[in-house]
Amino acid sequence: MGWLWAIIVGFVLGLIAKAIIPGKQHSPLWLTTIFGILGAIAGNAIAQGLGVAETPGIDWSRHAFQLIAAVIIVFFGDMAYMSLRRGRRRA
């Protein structure tokens, strides 16, 4: 069941990150979901490193780290995706 939650959280984080980033992102939905999953993993690692991964109640700080990481990963991942697409057209 853990993998299902990872996909759901990654999907939601990816969509929120796409909404926050200005302009149009060109990466497909499946890739945005993977970027969101990576953002959740990175955000959890950062929260764990800072000692705020487990708090009483809702872990707002952990969720904030997940969202920030997802925004960064979606932004740079979309840039890489567009760069690869442009490179294929030239070849």
Confidence bin at 6 (pLDDT 50/70/90) = confident
The domain in which residue 74 lies consists of 2-90
3-state helix, strand, coil in the chain (%, to 5): 80, 0, 20
Please tell me the pTM assigned to this model. Answer: 0.87
Task: State mean pLDDT over 53-72.
Answer: 88
Residue 3 has pLDDT above 70, yes or no: yes
Q: Which of 2, 19, 9, 4 is nearest to 74 (CA)?
A: 19
Structural domain total, the chain: 1
